[in-house]
Structure 1
Amino acid sequence: MNIENFLHSRRGAATTRTLLTAGFTRRMLTNAVRDGRVTRLHRGVYTSRRADPDVVAAFRADGLLTCVSAARFYRLWTLGDPGSLHLSCSTGQARRGVVHHGACLHPAHSYLPVAGVADVLIHSLRCLPELEALVMVQSAVSQALLSTDFLRSKLPGNRNGKVREIVGWVLPRADSLLEVLAHTHFTRAGLRVRMHVDVPGVGEVDCLIEDCLIVELDGGTHLEGKQVKKDQYRNNAGILGGLMTLHYYYADVVHHPQRMVGEVLVVLRNRETGRFGPFRYIAGRPPS
């Protein structure tokens, strides 16, 4: 493997020590720089032409990417663009356009200037709006990168009470960020919610609210023809079993949660007041 390909496997940047350990010599590094195949960022770091800009920025600042800026390196769910760069810098010097975080207390990424997942999540819990932090923690737990018990043990004392509360919203299982967000919104509204319930005749549903209302959280695949037909038959099966169904999408759960919760409450209120009550059907005559 040549130096360019090796750097590509490291997001386009690596330290001299990493390169020497991989078998490249100092002469090879010098020649690669002279030929314009790689660039010497500063003492001890080399980059390729297509290096990841965040990785380069972290090396340049002698820091570690953390919080939401590190999420993609661990495939963690996020709710939007990180915006500013989030760094934990050993020098502690302020830099324009950078959100600075405290020191990292756990082993960093094995070869990238990225904080370890525990520090990434601790920083996100103390920095981001609670739902943005929640989906990152949920994603890490769902991937078995760490446990909620481990995370709580790293957040002792009264000053961490609020962030421990966020960790408490993490579900044992969530297949998408929509599930943990919807569960949080419905539960905060005082509703009894069960996730991933196996309903006879229907199959597994995303949410069962108050044991009478199915809520399905649909991603892009649910817009495909075969999936639409399957969902409609599942809705029919639910109604035959006495359960109503509502469907919500990413924009509903992430951008309009109050409207989503409000609609669920209206359906439950209508059911309670008897608007979905029984009627007598007589063959040949419409219901009165």
Structure 2
Amino acid sequence: MDVSQFLVSRHGAARTETLRKAGFTRRALTKAVNDGAIARLHRGVYTSANADPDVVAAFRADGLLTCVSAARFYGLWILENAEQLHLSCSTGLARRRVVHHGACTHPVHPYLPVAGVGDVLLHAMRCLPELEALVMAQSAVSQAFLSTGFLRRKLPGNRNGKVRAVLDLVLPRADSLLEVLAHTHFTRAGLLVQMHVDVPGVGEVDCLINGCVMVELDGATHFEPKQVKKDQYRNNAGLRGGLIPLRYYYADVVYNPQRMVDEVLDVLRNWEDGRYSPFRYIASPPPS
């Protein structure tokens, strides 16, 4: 592997120290720069063509990517891509189009200018709107990067009360951001929500609401023909077992949650009013 290939494996940028540890001598780096294979960003940092712009910006600012800007480097879920760069800068100097965060107190990423996952989450919890912070926290907990107990201990005092309240919404298990968001919206509507319920004849369903409405939350793979057919059979099995199946997608949960909740409430009211009775819609016999 030559130096340019190595840089690509590091999102297109690396410090001299990282390159030297990988076995590239100063002479080899100078030759690669002279040959146009790589570029010298500034003293101690080299880049390749098509380097990750956020990584380059962090190196240029002598800072660390954090909060929502660091999420993708740890595979954390996010609702929206950041319009501005979120950095923790050692210099503390204000920069245009940058959201500045406090100093980092936990071990940083081993080779990228990215804050450690602990600081990334703490910065996000204090910075982002409630549901965006919740999604990142849930992702970190689900992947066992850290625990809600760790975050609570790091967010003491009255001034962090609202931030800590977000942690009450984190589920013991969530396989997607749709699950934690749907659970939050349904429970806030006063519904009894059970997650990951094993239904005989159906298998595990995402949500069982008030013991009678089976809600499935579908991602992109559910549009594949084989999966669509499988989902329809699951719906049929749910109906045979006395449950009412409903399905919602990313746009429903993220962008239209109130409409989703209202539909579930309508179904529950119909259930309670007996509107699904088989005798309700039997036509009168035709006149003789």
The C-alpha deviation readout for 1:77-118, integer Å capped at 9, x for no partner, is: 111221110000000100001010111110100000000011
In structure 2, the residue matched to 1:263 is 263
Distance in 1 (alpha carbons) for counterparts of 2:168 and 2:219 = 25
Question: 2 CA distance for matches of 1:287 and 1:261?
Answer: 35
CA RMSD in angstroms, aligned pairs only: 1.6
SS at match of 2:110: coil
User: Does the aligned pair in 2 maintain the 1:191–1:210 contact within 8 Å?
Assistant: yes
For structure 1, list consecutive stretches of 5 or more residues without a partner in the other structure. Answer: none
The residue that corresponds to 1:198 in the other structure is: 198
Structure 1's consecutive aligned runs of 4 or more residues displaced over 2 angstroms after TM superposition are 276-281, 285-288
**SS at 1:234 equivalent:** helix
Paired position in structure 2 for 1:180? 180
**Once the two structures are superposed, what CA deviation does each residue of 1:126-167 show, in whole Å capped at 9, x if it has no partner?**
111111111111111111111111121111111111111111
Residue of structure 2 in register with 1:248 after alignment: 248
Which residue identity is paired with 1:101?
H
Equivalent positions of 1:58-207 (< 5 A) are 58-207=58-207
CA spacing shift, 1:3–1:188, aligned 2, 3 Å: same
In structure 2, the partner of 1:45 is 45
Instruction: Read off the aligned partner of 2:160 and give its amino acid letter.
Output: N
Secondary structure of the residue aligned to 2:138 is: helix
Tell me how far apart the structure 2 counterparts of residues 27 and 225 of structure 1 sit (CA, whole Å).
Answer: 56
* Structure-2 residue corresponding to 1:15: 15
Q: So what's the TM-score if we normalise by structure 2?
A: 0.95
**Hey, what's the Cα distance between the residues in 2 that align with 1:260 and 1:280?**
26
Question: Residue 176 of structure 1: CA displacement?
Answer: 0.9
Count of equivalent residues: 285
Which amino acid in structure 1 is aligned with residue 240 of structure 2?
Answer: L
Deviates more, 1:250-259 or 1:157-166: 157-166
Q: Distance in 2 between matches of 1:220 and 1:134?
A: 22
CA–CA distance in structure 1, aligned partners of residues 19 and 220 of structure 2: 42
Q: Separation in 2 of the partners of 1:118 and 1:155?
A: 12
Q: Secondary structure at the match of 1:103?
A: coil
TM-score by length of 1: 0.95
**Are 1:57 and 2:57 an aligned pair?**
yes
Q: Is the 8 A contact 1:280 1:287 kept in 2?
A: no
Larger mean CA deviation between 20-29 and 47-56 belongs to 20-29
Q: Secondary structure at the match of 1:111?
A: coil
Change in 2 beyond 3 A, CA 1:36/1:268 = same
